[in-house]
Chains A and B, each alone.
Chain A
Amino acid sequence: MPTSINHLAPPTGGIADNIAGFARALRAAGLPVGPGAVIDAMTALEVIDIGKRADVFTTLESIFVKRHEHALIFSQAFDLFFRPAEEWKSMLDSVPLPDHAKKKPPPASRRVQEAMSQPQTHEEPKAQEQDLRLAVSDREVLQKKDFAQMSAAEIAEVARAIAKMRLPQAELKTRRHTADPRGRRIDMRKTLRQALRTEGEIINFHRLGRIEKPAPIVALLDISGSMSEYTRLFLHFLHAITDARKRVSVFLFGTRLTNVTRALRQRDPDEALASCSANVEDWAGGTRIATSLQTFNKQWARRVLGQGAIVLLISDGLEREADSKLAFEMDRLHRSCRRLIWLNPLLRYSGFEAKAQGIKTMLPHVDEFRPVHNLTSIETLISALSSPLPPHQRSAIRPAA
């Protein structure tokens, strides 16, 4: 049955229709508005004076908006939707509203196509042994090969290898407890309940131990032009660790900073990467490390670095405007996290020297300086990430090969 409620039509007289239509308009604008919220809104409007526009605005806002970032979209939608009917006509002509019919196909369809077009028959089982050996040596080559020199098929192979890597958990001790026979605290509640079965005789003490959690990881990935060969693979790597660990936040920066954590949470790597790039406006453009770090420090550091996070800064450090601002922001970042690890693909060159001004400015503020350009270096990184954390202190900077 076609519904009469349409967010592309001017509001009718009925409150219920108006609210439902408005909710649809918000949904079309990208706000997560569920049917429960519409019912709430109806209930709420019954108890306030709907003659006052400001009160209606606040009421609907408190129900439909659940994140501060959505407040602006809401207020624009409110102004557009609740306006005199005669203005609707001219507005509809001027404002392009989202057209769902023209939506591009989801990223998985390309893979489906590829899968369908492949020959169905898998023959040659005779040469299996030889194939296997070949595959192994191929893999060895792949381990050392620079990401920048790989073909598309090899990149796909590496992405698969990265997806298989698992970071060991258990690093930080939290203040919460769980049953643990070797724990330090006695679980009196459980012990007593057990004692009741034996007429109050305590036979053994049940114990509690601290729950251990992995330290949160915050990755800041440079997506400027000079990093473009590496970006996609790093995203694969970050997607793999986002999938495996709970507290991972990922930010991309070029000339501006974008939080892509939510996009990377999607299970399917292709879909996650596609929605990542849909969020970013400055892909493969210039770099403004200092400005991006400043945005991060000001808007996000307090929100994501709170629980002793490890920061992975993935960048080549090629910043032209290397001045005191960059040093200042690096220093602040360094002071607000547990460990700051700088991953730099330029380190692959054996004769690498920190000549660029940006690199010189940033180096004194990092705890570790590591190369990342092939699978082996990523594997080393993972083992470094899972090793026990050092106490919060400045360690010697290692310009490893």
Chain B
Amino acid sequence: MSAPALPASVDAMLELLSSRGYLAERSLATVTYLSLRMGRPLFLEGEAGVGKTEIAKVLSAALGRKLIRLQCYEGLDVASAVYEWNSAAQMIAIRLAEAGGEVDRDQLTSDIFADRYLIKRPLLQALEPDVAGAPVLLIDELDRADEAFEAYLLEILSDFQVTIPEFGTVKAPHPPIVIITSNRTREIHDALKRRCLYHWVDYPSAERELAIVKTRLPGISQRLSQQIVRFVQALRDQDFYKSPGVAETLDWATALTELDARSLNAEVVGDTLGALLKYQDDIARMQGDALQKAIKDATNET
């Protein structure tokens, strides 16, 4: 089985993504297409829940490539991101060699620093050849890792190679498709951004969001989905600490269909508001008259 070919135009890219249920804005499809064609990492920034991580998953599924995910966190280091030696196994190998008598030091060294004692972490895995083609490497929430790790990434992302002192240099035969996401909890250094194609992922328009809800929840009624999208879009215009993303819209729509809601009303919205708003202050603001008004606006058929 051969893997699907890379899309040949922006339109083909849009089609490829939508075939997997990802309805992207044309601009996002354009940068994704460019990143594939130019072999450059794609750097996606934007609020939480707008579908930055999702695009990597969809790409890997649509292209039939392996998805390798590196979730960043504070304190992420080379041992958990790139590789580590299996020390316990090495130790046993040394002991066995000793027990067998006659230890040739050079031989021992090359034996215990061999491929089989190397524990490969996501970044090293991403450089390995794969029959289906170069994998999709998702470096998620890079803003959570600390600056030292960013500097390390610079080398990997520009040359797609890793140097292991005891072992040698591992170079990718085909560069992986790299998607980096950031929620902007910290600024990423310009040096890293310069090596990538940058794109700010925004909240979708009302029409697109409606289409997304219908694609993801095929059973939902036209009326309810329109009300949901109108309500959420109105929330985003307000000055909340954390506006709901597309992920929250989908959660909420799922919650409402589970409750068999036919239409928005104060009771059902009040009960499920936690699916949309994640801060107590924001929920508190959305009570009483404000809630009534928002529901009225959303359910007002025009």
Binding site for B on A (CB under 8 A): 32, 34, 36-37, 40, 43-44, 47-49, 52, 54-55, 57-59, 61-63, 65-68, 71, 174-177, 188-189, 191-193, 195-197, 199-200, 246, 297-298, 302-304, 306-307, 328, 332
Contact = CB atoms under 8 A, between A and B. Distances in A.
8 contacts: A47-B34, A62-B197, A63-B198, A65-B198, A68-B184, A176-B148, A307-B74, A332-B281
Nearest to B97: A200
B26 A43 contact: no
Given A55-B26, A58-B26, A174-B74, A192 B112 contact: yes
Nearest to B192: A66
B187 A176 contact: no
Nearest to B33: A48
Given A62-B34, A65-B198, A303-B184, A195 B94 contact: yes
A48 B30 contact: yes
Nearest to A246: B147
Contacts of A67: 193, 198
B45 to A, nearest CB: 6
A48 B146 contact: no
A62, A67, A302 interface centre (most CB from chain B within 10 Å):
A62
Interface stretch (B83-91, B205-213, B252-260): B83-91
A196 B108 contact: yes
A63 B75 contact: no
A199 B97 CA distance: 10
B103 A200 contact: yes
Enumerate the 7 nearest inter-chain pairs by beta-carbon distance, A residue then B residue, closest first: A175-B75, A188-B87, A200-B94, A66-B193, A58-B30, A62-B197, A58-B27
Given A44-B38, A66-B190, 18 more contacts: A40-B38, A54-B27, A55-B26, A58-B26, A58-B31, A59-B31, A61-B27, A61-B198, A66-B198, A67-B193, A174-B74, A195-B94, A196-B108, A199-B103, A297-B241, A302-B184, A306-B186, A307-B74
B85 A71 contact: no
B85 A188 contact: yes
Contacts of A328: 281
A328 to B, nearest CB: 8
A304 B187 CA distance: 9
Interface of B: 9-10, 26-27, 30-31, 33-34, 37-38, 40, 45, 74-75, 77, 85, 87, 90-91, 94-95, 97-98, 103, 105, 108-109, 112, 146-148, 166, 183-187, 190, 193-194, 197-200, 239, 241, 281
Contacts of A195: 94
B146 A196 contact: no
A43 B85 CA distance: 40
Nearest to B27: A58
A369 B37 CA distance: 57
A228 to B, nearest CB: 30
Contact of A196 (B10, B77, B105, B185): B105
A199 B105 contact: yes
A192 B85 CA distance: 10
Contacts of A193: 166
B30 A34 contact: no
Given A62-B199, A306-B185, A175 B74 contact: yes
Contacts of B98: 199-200
B30 A59 contact: yes
B81 to A, nearest CB: 12
A36 B197 CA distance: 13
B200 A68 contact: yes
A49 B13 CA distance: 13
A197 B127 CA distance: 32
A32 B194 CA distance: 10
Contacts of A188: 85, 87
B75 A174 contact: yes
Contacts of B198: 61-63, 65-67
